[in-house]
Amino acid sequence: MAVKFKDYYEVLGVPRTASADEIKKAYRKLARKYHPDLQTGAGKQEAERKFKELNEANEVLSDPKKRAKYDQLGPQWQEGMDFTPPPGAGGARARGEDFRYEGGFEGFEGFGGFSDFFESLFGDTRGGRRRGGGFGRAGAARPMRGSDVESEMELTLEEGVHGAKRRVRLAGQSLCPVCNGRGVVGQQTCPRCGGTGRVVEERDLTVNIPAGARDGDRVRLAGQGEPGENGGPPGDLFIRIRLLPHPRFKILNQNDLETKIEVMPWEAVLGTEVRIQTLDGEGTLKIPAGSRREKRFRLRGKGLPIRGNGRGDLYVRLEINVPARVTPEERRLYEELARLAKENR
């Protein structure tokens, strides 16, 4: 039996290339416009029909699997054409069974059932609430989880290594306290949110940064994302870590660091001990006699935390600090040193 083809993209007023977010926004806008609670008089019946049609379109286009199956109709996308369901795809009506949607919406029966076209393409829809759609048994809107939100936080290298606790103020969406997210008050558009069901509020949050955080890591704050739909749970807030450049340390790889230290020429020749700054505080580094410029010293366990166990290493690169100015006595000694070195060649 041929059934009338339905262009769900046209119902929602979106192109076939529309993203999931575009489909969601179009559905919300039209659903508020044709919500039965806002209709009175002669237009109420037509609004109920349109509202049902919107939910059927959203049921398909918001579900990736249903949308892919629907898009397989390909070249048969012609307004008003008859559609013949593929073999074996028939639902309750295709098998000759009697389909009856139990329940209604706000007092009228039968609202929320799907068309012959939908049942022919996707099968038996009995059983109330359906995945991906807008409304289930008794016309109740399906709870939908809120979207996740991502923000960034800049940390010093020390904070990333040792962990930190930060207080942040973020602006985010919350359910409108006047209409409780419905977008309407009585039969009027909510004056606080303008019908969106959402308001933008600033929130003060405490973020615990675990020790060993790396650049690009994300910290999850459960339930701090966008509010859910129809009583659904809120999404999560993810804080992406950005480590600030450090004036002293350079990150070599996942676990190791590099820094540099300057010594005077005679210290490089004779050897010395110098104080050096690490992420854990000051330490002592022994410079052996005859050390050359660019020589690297390795301090084990003074680098970045290794996930699971231990720490990386800190490499210290040696620089020779050549004085820009010398006293007459220092110049005399340098000249004597040069003379001795020339004689010993």
Mean pLDDT check: name the lowest of 48-52, 106-110, 152-156, 180-184: 106-110
Kindly report, residue by residue over 40-62, the tens digit of the pLDDT: 666 777 888 888 888 888 888 98
Q: What is the pLDDT of residue 253?
A: 83
Q: Give alpha helix (H) positions in the chain.
A: 8-12, 20-33, 43-61, 64-71, 116-122, 157-162, 265-270, 328-343
Kindly report, residue by residue over 18-45, the tens digit of the pLDDT: 998 888 888 888 887 777 666 666 677 7
Q: What is the pLDDT of residue 320?
A: 92
> Which pairs with CB-CB distance under 8 Å and at least 24 residues apart come from 199-202?
199/173, 199/174, 199/175, 200/171, 200/172, 200/173, 200/174, 201/171, 201/172, 201/173, 201/174, 202/169, 202/170, 202/171
Q: What is the pLDDT of residue 41?
A: 67
Kindly report, residue by residue over 76-104, the tens digit of the pLDDT: 544 444 555 555 444 433 333 333 333 33
Between 131 and 60, the higher pLDDT residue: 60
Domains of the chain: 3-139 (1.10.287.110), 149-243 (2.60.260.20), 250-343 (2.60.260.20)
